[in-house]
Structure 1
Amino acid sequence: METLGLVLFIVVALAFDYTNGFHDAANAIATTVSTRALRPRTALALAAVMNLVGAHISTAVANTVGGVIDPPDGTAGLTVVAAAVLGAMSWNLVTWWFGIPSSSSHALIGGLVGAALAAGASVHWHAVREKVLVPMVVSPVVGLVLGFLFMLAIMWAFRRANPHRAKHWFRYGQIVAAGAMSLGHGLQDAQKTMGVITLALLTTGHLSSFEVPFWVVFACALSLSLGTYAGGYRIIRTLGRKVFKVDNTSGFAAQTVASAVLYGASHWGLPVSTTHVTTSSLMGVGATRSLSAVRWNIAGGILVAWVVTLPAAGLVGALAYGVLHVVV
């Protein structure tokens, strides 16, 4: 019975990974599509391939996610982890439907904490504070500031360049930056599902220590890539058109900065939000034109979603645990 439950959990976790892919595909390709540097399907294919590659580079973020809670052994622990994933997936689907670029990463962390609290399991609050909450606040600020400074540097460096020629080269640069951004997305988001599947395997006694098996890495990478190729057009419209009017140069700048932040966070095992980083980088780049160039009301709505995601997913995770606990 426990083995069947584990198999069902892995299927659900991979489904969450798939929703993560189509929910967060916009992060990597929104500006590339909106400026017509690539056609949507071509951009999604590029993102899917680079997601697959990025997911195989490291497991540092997976180790962090797996260490957020300490579930009980056996079926009880599996129920906690399953409830967390259901809570995160439910929140992903709600925000995708309304086109809100919220964080799948923080939805998963919130689901883990909410389910653990409902079950009376221990939560490693130090890890939540130092590796989730602090980076959640710091990473968008870093993206905003670096986006502003990097765009200023580009404007100064190319101040005497031929506008038509510069636009041509930045269009190609934007494609490279989209690939780099997708690599960072794979580094971050596929690992979060790897973390919960490995935690479930450890809880049910199928692993003796927290080490991510290769088949888990491959399955999560593939699910994320397939979800990415399915596309998230609702959120592409929000990031690519509504925050501010993006051109090839600003799209290249925002994606380059976001990629750098994601690589740094992945190196330190910090599960930051690709959505947070991408949106804040876009706002920083847009602010170089003028403060009025950024539609701050849209950005404000996104900010609200950022703040609400952790507790909302935690609540849904706790409710899911309540239902699963009765059923199981």
Structure 2
Amino acid sequence: MKRIGVLTSGGDAPGMNAAVRAVVRKAIYEGLEVVGIFHGYQGLIDGKMEVLDLGSVGDIIQRGGTKLFSARCPEFRTEEGQQKAIEQLKAHGIDGLVVIGGDGSYRGSMKLTESGFPCVGIPGTIDNDIPGTDYTLGFDTALNTVIESIDKIRDTATSHERTFIVEVMGRDAGDLALWAGLAGGAETIIIPEVEINMDEIVERLKSGSERGKKHSIIIVAEGVMSGAEFASKLKDLADIETRVSVLGHIQRGGSPTGRDRVLASLFGAKAVEVLIAGNGGRAIGIQNHQVVDYDMNEAFDNHEEFDMSMYQLSKELSI
């Protein structure tokens, strides 16, 4: 292993830049050369890459987004596209690859590994939905962004004595909505893992109103339905007027928290160590406060365990 590549793929997440920095500097410390691949797998196919030195990753640890950019790449899903990528890797003398991204990015890296080219995955997604790791890069930063927004929305909800619906990201996983809802004191949390019960929600809102409660915050994960759809349901079912705030892509941006910067540094260094050891098809994660690497297939074969006790606690504390 003399030269490794690094790319970021899929949706951006705070901490990706810090992970790129860690990969580059750890590899150089170990005597390796690093090639940065731009625009994810599409850039790999197109040969958009350059050698990165220590200065190339200076002053990026605090920046959100990704210096290497990101893009979707339908072509890479085909055998022809994968073969083009492998040819580019060989042409540029790259012996191993670090892929920073989510589930789709991992699947792409496994295709390369199965073709004899070792890849290691670093979990970069605000959804916190990669099995095998307790936390993913970007989750903590996005969580704090959502909490800050909820706090500000609550000020207006209190002033106008209204129910506000806050739509957050989370297509298939409700971690962001659940953690933000519990930390932000939301009265109701709607997530993909728990079947929605409109009658119960209406009863909770009415019960709060009857005891003098003047406002409520409802968190809705986008994977269940949009905030506007939920507002319409409440209006039709119980004639409850609401206001909707869609947080959107602000959840992905911003300077990473200290926690995400540390995770990124640990993950990036571990990924380099795994490649140096000659291993591919591995995923990096943190389990019980320990940085580990594990078979990437576990991220596909297993399902992320949902903490139902935390969801129940959120209901108990919002009575």
TM-score, scaled to structure 2: 0.27
Give the greater-gyration-radius structure (CA): 2
Considering fraction of residues, name the structure with more helix.
1
Considering fraction of residues, name the structure with more strand.
2
For CA contacts below 8 A with separation 6 or more, give which structure has more relative contact order.
1
